[in-house]
Amino acid sequence: MDAVRIYGGKSLSGQTKIQGSKNASLPILAATLLTDGICEIENCPDIADVYHMLRLLRSLGCQIERRGDVIRVDTTRLSECDMPADSVGVMRSSIMLLGALLARTGEVSMEYPGGCVIGKRPIDLHLYALRRMGVEIEEGETAFCAKASRLVGTVQELPFVSVGVTENLILAAVLASGETVIHPAAREPEIQALCEFLICAGAKIAGAGTDRLVIEGVEKLHPTRFRVPADRIVAGTYLTACLCAGGRVFLQDAPCAHMESVIACAERFGARLGRETDGLLVEGRADRRLEGGLTTAVYPGFPTDLQSLFMVVMAVSGQDGFIEEDVFENRFRIVPELVKMGACIQIAGTKAYIRGGHSLHNTIVEAQELRGGAALVVAALAAEGTGIVKNRHFIDRGYEDITLRLRELGAAVELA
Ligand code: EPZ
């Protein structure tokens, strides 16, 4: 079955290695198109979204080889500029190929990437900003065609911070003629990793990690080898597993420097955390009330991708609280499933109010999307009885074998 079975009520003890970052790997794999030769990307996670990105690269004529956690991408024989609709539709991150392909081939035809349950996820700002770099875009009902004889650097004053738009503009700007300024740029660690990869390949980028990026276009980039950083959202996920089930775990390679807001929040819930040179030690269960609630924000604020996970922490902590989702318009899909488990949660606009004192019991629940699915597994760890989380395929999009990793942490979970 496409599900996870969880035997709840058991505290955790053990350690697991945190996988490479999904949201750094995807734009970096797209960026390999900007070089003409063989790039080697280390520490790429073995997850469905990376599989779909590699399938798209193959459809464009790239030769792909995975040797352990190293992915070799040979872009010498780039042949196509049309991507298979089924892979584009399945994975939103296909939009990241837009900027790279325009820079490399000057032409792209692709379906509109799928939205998903967390929001409409339009690409209007992507298209608006690329048009300002000289890209001609013809929009159809289900697909669009973009052309640019030469991308022209320009000042991009954006109306709001967008991770994907920042990535696409970086990919379009590194080989453009002249200088591009992106402001406000997203500051996520995944953007910093993308800039580091491109600088290793010969790009001229200043301001990585700040809200203002200045990119001087160069003639050519060369292939390079790069190691993807550990995934801060996966580390945060297993951190919440310990906050909910209790116990003591060590998250090897957890990127603590990229998790400040998450670590501070976990400590406010009463957990004891130890930053080690090679990871994060987590001890104890969440048992304190989070005064003032929790609001998601762009980095370095609290990450929207851990909003569902901390909603579960709040529900399990037995305390009243609220969570505000300020990034996506529909990211409370987990609530009806948590209510089936006995949680008492009310949604009012962008806020979800969690009532304490309602212990969770296990039952059959259904993942609706990636992070909410992982959060349901975490909730089941703390709930009484045996639970099933269906639609495991959503979780597999971003987590390497979540049942294996949780078993390494002492959880009683199995594929179902
Ligand atoms: C990236 O999505 C991540 N995905 C998301 O992680 C993450 O939640 C999000 O950034 C915010 O941090 C990847 O990196 C592959 P945005 P992205 O553009 O780039 C609106 C996960 O679980 N918007 O920063 O799509 C948009 O609808 C995923 O790993 C427009 O309106 O996010 C959203 O409300 C989920 N028009 C807001 O901006 C546009 O043209 C921020 O989205 C583009 C975005």
Query: Strands (DSSP E) along 253-299, which ranges?
Result: 272-276, 279-283, 294-295
Global model pTM greater than 0.95: yes
Q: Which atom of ligand 1 is nearest to the CA of 160?
A: 38
List Cα–Cα distances, 146 to 32, 36, 336, 341, in angstroms: 20, 22, 41, 47
* Residue 412 dihedral angles phi and psi, to the nearest 5°: -100, 90
Residue 293: how many CA atoms within 13 Å on its side-chain side? Answer: 13
Whether the Cβ atoms of residue 163 and residue 192 lie closer than 8 Å to each other: no
Q: Is residue 142 classed exposed, middle or buried when 0-12, 13-18 and 19+ CB atoms within 10 A define those classes?
A: exposed
Q: Give the whole-number percent of the chain exceeding pLDDT 90.
A: 85
Among 39, 44, 116, 242, the active-site one is 116
pLDDT of residue 85: 64
Residue with tokens 């990119």: 215
Q: Tens of pLDDT along 79-138?
A: 765 666 666 666 677 888 999 999 999 998 888 886 677 888 889 999 999 999 999 999
Task: Answer yes or no: are the C-beta atoms of 307 and 293 closer than 8 Å.
Answer: no
Packed helices 48-59 and 22-31: angle between N→C axes, nearest 10 degrees: 10
Note if 116 is an active site residue.
yes
> For residue 302, is pLDDT > 80?
yes
The domains of the chain, with CATH numbers, are: 3-19+230-415 (3.65.10.10), 22-227 (3.65.10.10)
Rounded CA-CA distance 126/251 in Å is: 36
Helix ranges restricted to H, 133-184: 163-173
List, for residues 342-386, the tens digit of each pLDDT value. 999 999 999 999 998 889 999 999 999 999 999 999 999 999 999
β 364-366/3-7 pair status: unpaired
Going by their DSSP bridges, the two strands 213-216 and 204-206 should be labelled as: antiparallel
Question: Mean of the per-residue pLDDT values for the chain?
Answer: 94
Name the residue with the closest Cα to ligand 1, atom 4.
23
* Contact predicate 133/148, CB 8 Å: yes
Strand ordering across the sheet containing 143-147? 107-111, 143-147, 136-139
- From ligand 1's centre to the CA of 415, what distance in Å? 30
Strands 386-390, 364-366: pairing is parallel
Model pLDDT for residues 216-268, shown as the tens digit of each residue:
999 999 999 999 999 999 999 999 999 999 999 999 999 999 999 999 999 99
Rounded to an integer, what distance in angstroms lies between the CA atom of residue 171 and that of residue 201?
A: 12
Q: Which residues line ligand 1 (CB under 6 A)?
A: 22-23, 26, 92-93, 119, 121-126, 162-165, 304-305, 327-328, 370-371, 398
Q: Measured from the CA of 127, which atom of ligand 1 is nearest?
A: 40
